[in-house]
């Protein structure tokens, strides 16, 4: 799974210059977990890492450039993404 997360993290960094590596990795892990958790709650068995990767990749392609804006406005995620301005990639 680390390989999936690493590829997705790098993709997100390409899409969003406002995130540090650590923040991009957190976003990838949150999106991954949210997708898998949604299916478990719906009673569906895991769709597998390949399917989850495709969905998260699509989300990053569509929304990756703006994820930093969402985090700043949402208290649930804000603490994950408070940063020192010197830590950007």
pLDDT in tens, 25-82: 999 999 999 899 888 888 887 788 999 999 999 999 999 999 877 766 667 766 766 6
The answer to whether the CB of 49 falls within 8 A of the CB of 36 is no
The answer to whether the CB of 25 falls within 8 A of the CB of 5 is yes
First vs last Cα of the chain: how many Å apart?
23
The CA distances from residue 39 to 35, 43, 51, in Å, are 7, 6, 12
Residues 6+ apart with CB under 8 A from 22: 87
The tokens 């990767």 sit on which residue?
53
The model's pTM = 0.80
């Amino acid at each position: 799974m680390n390989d999936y997360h690493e590829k997705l993290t790098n993709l997100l960094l390409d899409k969003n210059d406002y995130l540090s590596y650590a923040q991009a990795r957190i976003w990838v892990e949150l999106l991954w977990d949210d997708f898998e958790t949604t299916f478990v709650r719906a009673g569906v068995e895991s769709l597998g890492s390949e399917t989850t990767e495709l969905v998260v990749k699509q989300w990053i392609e569509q929304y990756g450039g703006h994820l930093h804006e969402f985090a700043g406005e949402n208290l649930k995620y804000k603490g994950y993404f408070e940063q020192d301005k010197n830590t950007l990639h």
